[in-house]
Amino acid sequence: MSIQWYPGHMEKARRQVTEELKRVDMVIELADARVPLSSRNPMLDSILQDKPRLLVLTKSDMADPNVTDQWLEYFKNEGTEAVALNALQNKGAKPLIEKSQKVTAPLFEKMKRKGIRPRAIRAMIIGIPNVGKSTVINRLVGKKTAKTGDKPGITKAQQWLKVGRDMELLDTPGILWPKFENQLVGYRLAATGAIKDELLDFEDISLFTVNLLKTRYPSALLERYNLDTLPEEDRALFEKIGQKRGLLQLGGYIDEEKCAEIILRDVRGQKLGRISFETPEDWRHLEEDNEMNPE
């Protein structure tokens, strides 16, 4: 299955981001801690250019903590300022502001030398749909200012929001890019809920998810679905889960659509624990493959 999603409002948002950059000191880029690279928009590098940037890994409470630590080390080695944020438990706001102050320090030192009075940091907050942007904003601001939801595409317009005396945030709609060069990126985003479910083949995405769980989190599968063993074939495992969930239809066939829905709902609802869909090592292998097999 080829996964693509680029609603018209996203093209408009891309133009707005480009136009508004001159009004901000820095950009706070949000990425899903479960898929830190897959959830980063590669278009941003060309759009943002040299604008100071802080990468915030959202939903860290849903990701494998060991893998998140690997990602923070990875970004550190890449020279990227990054911080993991657990928005639901209101943890990580102070580190985010401190990191933002670090990122913008050279700019404010320059302003100070010019005799410009100190002011709050003006930051643009940006990320792909359903990355947890509205939830992060509400935690930072301290009240329910932005709409939140578990579906992508909630934010459709821009707005300025104050974070105490330290920061002013310019919220922007989530932006996906026109084409996923690697379909693994599309599958990972689909599994985590970044792409509207109405556009997906649930069974295909759930089989991808089952394969990942079987490979990296087998004990979670065994426990959640009360399984004795894990079949080697993904399809056989999928059907076994359906049987355990009582989804047999007339003729002994599994209700595949319902089974796929249950698996994805369980994963997104953390019924199988904290799961990461990619590691830095995955991307190193991908980069090596691309070097060996250029188009």
Question: Is 132 marked as binding a ligand?
Answer: yes
**Percent of the chain scored above 70 by pLDDT?**
81
Verify that 211 and 167 share a domain, yes or no. Answer: no
Instruction: Look at residues 153, 171, 189 and tell me which one is the last residue of a structural domain.
Output: 171
Looking at residue 229, what is its pLDDT?
95
Indicate if the pLDDT at residue 16 is higher than 50: yes
Verify that 239 and 285 share a domain, yes or no. Answer: yes
pLDDT tens, position by position, 74-99? 999 999 999 998 866 655 567 888 99
Q: What is the CATH number of the domain that holds 211?
A: 1.10.1580.10
Question: Is 133 marked as binding a ligand?
Answer: yes
Question: Is 151 marked as binding a ligand?
Answer: no
Verify that 162 and 205 share a domain, yes or no. Answer: no
Question: Is 131 marked as binding a ligand?
Answer: yes
Question: Is 210 marked as binding a ligand?
Answer: no
Instruction: Look at residues 156, 171, 186 and tell me which one is the last residue of a structural domain.
Output: 171
Question: Is 174 marked as binding a ligand?
Answer: yes
Domain, as residue range, for 240: 201-290
Verify that 35 and 165 share a domain, yes or no. Answer: yes
Verify that 118 and 230 share a domain, yes or no. Answer: no
* 263 occurs within a structural domain: yes
Verify that 64 and 128 share a domain, yes or no. Answer: yes
* 188 occurs within a structural domain: no
**Percent of the chain scored above 90 by pLDDT?**
52
Q: What is the CATH number of the domain that holds 29?
A: 3.40.50.300
Indicate if the pLDDT at residue 154 is higher than 60: no
CA triple 91-97-100, angle to 5 deg? 135
Verify that 153 and 233 share a domain, yes or no. Answer: no
Looking at residue 150, what is its pLDDT?
42
Give residue 11's pLDDT band: very low, low, confident or very high (50, 70, 90): low
* 251 occurs within a structural domain: yes
pLDDT tens, position by position, 233-280? 999 999 999 999 999 888 888 999 999 999 999 999 999 999 999 999
Average pLDDT, integer, range 36-65: 90
Verify that 281 and 240 share a domain, yes or no. Answer: yes
